[in-house]
Amino acid sequence: MIDYIQIWVTNTAEITTLWKHPLLYYKNKIEKVSKSTGEIYKKQTREFEGITFRKEPHYPTKPNEGNVRIVISFNPHYWFNQNKHNANNFNALDSIETIKRFVSIFNIETFSHYPINNLEYGLNFLFNDYDKEFIGYNIYHSRNLFIQDQEHRYAKRAHSYTNGKPNYFSYAKLYCKGFQYPEYCDKNTLRFEMGAKQSKNIRTLGIKNIGDLLNIEVYHKLKTSLIKNTSKILIIDEYPILNELNSRDKKRLINYSNSSFWYKAIQTKRSATFNEKKESYIKLLDRTTFNINTEFQNKIREKLETLLPEKRKDSIITTKGDKCKDSTLDKGRILTFSNSRICPVTGINISMQKQTSLLLSNTGLKHLEKSNIIKFNELKSILLTGKPNRYENTIYDQLSKQIRNRYYSRQPIDNQMLLFNASNINTTRI
């Protein structure tokens, strides 16, 4: 469901720690001239598995902020698929597990230091037999026409205007994902997304920082938002069914199918005119045997129900158990996660660690040392084969680093099966 997030890290101490993270590697460094002051400033970018970390100038507004910030640009759905595509199903629990992995890798403990100020969320779906040509229809979001996206074919976006200028802080996107990634999904797969670029808009969804994306309740709000925005969609059917209508209503419906009719409706000084015409058009389509707008809304609702079933009072979603899958969209599924509380490298239960932990770390290692010193020593003999360095001060730090290295270098522990009897452990990289 979560397609893109942008995070601004402005806390000075957090910036220092994050920028030194050993998994970040250099990408580029550029110098620019400020249009307002004429000063030269620098932007440095580091990267990890497609996630960019850009250090740039910042104007502090709080005591714990300095004159630089780190802007993190992160595409969870792509990352879920090793940055190959976002064409398959990506449900609420997939999103949570992906965010958990990000939080665990970068040892994020203070979620408030990672506020979200840019968000895109949506879903892939099939709409009857419509294909990429559907994107060519005249489609509106509220009173805003979807216009061609300059970056992609068969892709459109809609946004409002303020004083004649486009408002890019809230927008809707609609495009043919099957055209973009035919090798990973049905060729007719479409995608609907909503985007917000201001924290005040994002907070209405219950999202302030990265920690909120670990809360299943937030995804119910995203689901509700998508349904609400789908109801604002108006699709002008180019080929309406006229058989069931009398001659007068046939002429009306043909007139409604003309794009210039809606252009004139928007240009009227009376803002309610468009909505009144829309309501009349929908009612007229209901009298035919097919209402493209109702069908569109129903398909979105049905697909959202598979991605996040309706809440029940007697149950709380806590694991990635049985999932409804659409096989036509699931060609690209890569991540499998049989047990999120088992370290995929060592096979050791890490339920005593933070909920966001993915790998065995210091807390779990100390617990293992107290509860099973034999296996703790065996783990040391396997992992600690080189010389210690000045960055890992304790045996737990050294072991934690080696576990992370094994995980991200795709090198399994040779004796893992014998040591931990981890026959059911999933070691698929995520």
Q: Which residue has the tokens 């714990």?
A: 64
State the pLDDT at residue 62: 87
CA angle 368, 373, 374 (to 5 degrees): 120
> Which structure tokens are listed for 58?
């910042």
Rg (alpha carbons) of the chain, rounded to whole number = 26
Residue written as tokens 């893992």?
416
pLDDT in tens, 113-138: 999 999 999 999 999 989 999 999 99
Q: What is the mean pLDDT of residues 89-102?
A: 94
Give the Cα separation of 340 and 4 in Å (integer): 23
Residue 422: predicted pLDDT: 36
d(CA 273, CA 266): 8
| pLDDT at site 416 | 42
pLDDT of 156 strictly over 80: yes
CB atoms within 10 A of CB 405: 14
Domain residue limits, the chain = 2-233, 338-430
Which residues are registered as beta bridge partners of 139?
Answer: 235
Per-residue model confidence (pLDDT) at position 334: 38
Question: For the segment 15-52, what is each residue's pLDDT rounded down to a tens digit?
Answer: 999 999 999 998 888 877 777 677 777 899 999 999 99
Q: What does the alpha-carbon distance between residue 151 and residue 73 come to, in Å, rounded to a whole number?
A: 18
In the chain, the largest separation of any two C-alpha atoms, in whole Å, equals 88
- pLDDT tens profile 331-381: 444 333 333 467 878 878 888 887 667 788 889 999 999 998 888 888 888
Tell me the pLDDT tens digit for each residue of 233-253: 999 998 899 988 999 999 999
Q: Does the pLDDT at position 427 exceed 80? A: no
Residue 419: is its pLDDT beyond 90? no
Phi-psi region of 270 (alpha: psi -120 to 50; beta: other; left: phi over 0): beta
- Residue 252, pLDDT score: 94
CB atoms within 10 A of CB 34: 10
Burial-class residue 142 by CB neighbours within 10 Å (0-12, 13-18, 19+): middle
Give strand pairing partners of 40: 33
DSSP β-bridge partners for residue 376: none
For residue 253, count other CB atoms closer than 10 A to its CB. 19
- Mean pLDDT along residues 306-311: 82
Give the residue with greater pLDDT, 13 vs 165.
13
Residue 288 has a pLDDT of 92
C-alpha angle 256-233-156 in degrees, rounded to nearest 5: 100
Give yes or no for residue 330 having a pLDDT over 90. Answer: no
Q: How close are the terminal C-alpha atoms of the chain, in Å? A: 17
Task: Indicate if the pLDDT at residue 94 is higher than 60.
Answer: yes
In this prediction, residue 292 carries a pLDDT of 95
pLDDT, mean over the chain: 84
**Token pair of 355, please?**
């909920």
Interval 218-238: pLDDT, tens: 999 999 999 999 999 999 998
What confidence tier does 401 reach under pLDDT thresholds 50, 70, 90?
confident
Residue 22 is encoded by which pair of tokens? 């050993």
Instruction: Find out whether 172 and 194 touch, Cβ atoms under 8 Å.
Output: yes
Quickly count: other Cβ atoms within 10 Å of residue 340's Cβ: 20
Assign 166 a pLDDT band (cuts: 50, 70, 90). Answer: confident
Cα angle: 228, vertex 202, 79; to 5 degrees: 95
Cβ neighbours of 226 (radius 10 Å): 22
Please report which confidence band the pLDDT of residue 411 belongs to, taking 50, 70 and 90 as the band edges.
low
* pLDDT in the model for residue 95: 95
Residue 413, amino acid = I
What's the burial of 333, exposed, middle or buried (CB within 10 Å: 0-12/13-18/19+)? middle
Spatial separation of the C-alpha atoms in residues 358 and 377, rounded to whole Å = 22
Query: Does residue 112 register a pLDDT over 90?
Result: yes
- What percent of the chain clears pLDDT 70, i.e. is strictly above it? 85
What is the per-residue pLDDT for 257?
92
- Average pLDDT, integer, range 144-160: 91
CA distances from 324 to 12, 92, 190, 214, 347 (A): 44, 12, 19, 21, 28
The single residue listed with the structure tokens 């999120």 is: 340
Residue 421: which region, alpha, beta or left (left: phi > 0; alpha: psi -120 to 50)?
left
pLDDT (0 to 100) of residue 113: 96
Distance of CA 122 to the CA centre of its chain: 8
